[in-house]
Amino acid sequence: MTQPDEQTTVRVDVDVNGRHHELAVPTSTVLSDLLRDELGLQGVRTSCERAVCGACTVLVDGTPTASCSTFAFDVDGAAVRTVEGLATEGALSPEQQAFAECGGFQCGFCTSGMLVLTKALLDEDPDPSRETIRAWISSNTCRCTGYEMILESVERAAQLRAEQGMGARR
């Protein structure tokens, strides 16, 4: 079996945070590198590069996705949302506001992944139980906290979204 040439490129048309991009990238480019290196979206963190820690989580067509292990060509035609795309018109999203209010972060390294994961959870279940929240965030490793403030942040985000009339989006 022949390995593809490292210099072989592929065209990727992708909507990132509401903006359309047409890029030619090497076939070996993973989504996190495309977002960070090509588009300058530094909120996407890379750590384990094995889809284990969750720091690189983004939403691809609304689904939480490990961007470190997803090839860029796999998102051709998709809509990608990163932590930078959560705020609208300069206003924090309910998820961002809740994490700030509740101190749902310490070093902040896992926070971007936690925020987009929280958005996906609340889009699916606007009033999740504590057990559901624990199950969802288990895919994102935080080494600084005991998760209590993160759990409170997710619950507060659900409250804020309810106050703003933001129900489930399926």
Residues 77 and 137 in one domain: no
Mean pLDDT over residues 72-81, rounded? Answer: 98
Q: Would you say residue 121 lies in a domain?
A: yes
Q: What is the band of 169 on the pLDDT scale with cuts at 50, 70, 90?
A: low
Q: 146 in a domain, yes or no?
A: yes
Residue after which a domain boundary falls, among 55, 85, 115: 85
Identify whether the C-beta of residue 4 lies closer than 8 Å to the C-beta of residue 45: no
Query: In which band, very low, low, confident or very high, does the pLDDT at 2 lie, cut at 50, 70 and 90?
Result: very low
Distance CA 88, CA 71 (A): 28
Give pLDDT, residue 145.
75
Residues 114-141 pLDDT 10s: 999 999 999 999 999 999 999 999 988 8
Q: Is the domain of 98 the same as that of 76?
A: no
Q: What angle do CA 86, 88, 74 make, to 5 degrees?
A: 40
Strand partners of residue 66: 57
DSSP 8-state code for residue 71? B
- How many domains does the chain divide into? 2
Asked if the structure places residue 3 within a domain, the reply is no
Q: Which residues contact 52 (CB under 8 A, 6 or more apart)?
A: 141
Residues 75 and 101 grouped into a single domain? no
- Residue 138 and residue 77 share a domain: no
- Tell me which residue range forms the domain holding 28: 9-85
For residues 155 and 144, the model is more confident at: 155
CATH number at residue 72: 3.10.20.30
Secondary structure of residue 15 in the 3-state scheme? strand
Task: Give the residue from 39, 61, 85 where a domain finishes.
Answer: 85
Question: Is residue 2 a part of any domain in this protein?
Answer: no
The mean pLDDT of the chain is 91
13, 72: one domain: yes
- Cα 86 to Cα 84: distance, rounded to the nearest angstrom: 6
Are 121 and 72 in the same domain?
A: no
Instruction: Give the percent of the chain with pLDDT over 70.
Output: 94
Q: Are residues 158 and 130 in the same domain?
A: yes
